[in-house]
Amino acid sequence: MAIYKVVLNGAFQGQDIKNILYYRNGVGIDIGGLTVGGTVELSAAVRAMVWPALSLVLPDSYELQDITTYVYNQETFALLYQNPTTEGVQEPGLVSGVTFNGPAPCAIVRMALEPTLFLLNGPKPPKRGYLAIGPLSDGWIKDNGEVLLDTGHKASWDVVCAALANNVETILPIPAVFFPIRVHQDKILNLWKITSFADVRDATVRTFSSYRRSRMPEN
């Protein structure tokens, strides 16, 4: 079995914006029957099943440049292939006719995680997880900082949450299912290493928006 790190590499106003998804493959699936340990198939599946949902809440001035996927051994958490698979995308978001206060404002999608068995998922499984989705339009944030979740906006966010919490599947070259997870990492020999994981049960949008200073352009 394997764990996958899927990096969504985007850009907005000259600033790199990254979001990282994690998956594990289903029991009984021989990843040897997949391409480069399943990274090729998973990258394509995320592009087909997750990106269309995210594009509903991202501006047309944002571009998803590529999807880069790494595969790890689920028991040792060591990389199975040194080089990742990168799928070029170069597609914009679908939100148009709105204004933005730079790349930093974002919505937090919280992920509720399944209970874990002692040591089966690693020594310190995560208890929660989240993604910072943005840039978020000024018009999608209320004056008090709440994320606007009226009927129209809520429908888009519901699609996003479902895509992030659901499995992704492939048919060729063999049928395969990838389950969304979040991971815990520890710094070992000055390098961050995955040490445990937990399955995603559900995803919801946090009431208030957030602000990522790391996404601000350097002066």
Q: What angle do CA 168, 18, 31 make, to 5 degrees?
A: 35
According to the model, what pLDDT value does residue 104 have?
A: 94
Task: State the pTM of this model.
Answer: 0.94
In this prediction, residues 72-80 reach a mean pLDDT of 90
Q: 167 with 137: CB under 8 angstroms?
A: no
Model confidence pLDDT, tens digit, residues 197-210:
999 999 999 999 99
For position 190, what pLDDT does the model report? 76
Burial of 163 (0-12, 13-18, 19+ CB in 10 A): buried
pLDDT surpassing 70 at residue 118: no
The reported pLDDT for the residue numbered 75 is: 84
pLDDT of 32 strictly over 90: no
219: pLDDT confidence band, cut at 50, 70 and 90?
low
| SS3 call for 20 | strand
Residue 93, classed as helix, strand or coil, is coil
Do 40 and 113 meet the contact criterion of CB atoms below 8 Å apart? no
Q: What angle do CA 137, 139, 143 make, to 5 degrees?
A: 110
135 secondary structure, DSSP code:
P
Average pLDDT over residues 17-44: 91
**How is the chain split into domains, by residue range?**
2-215
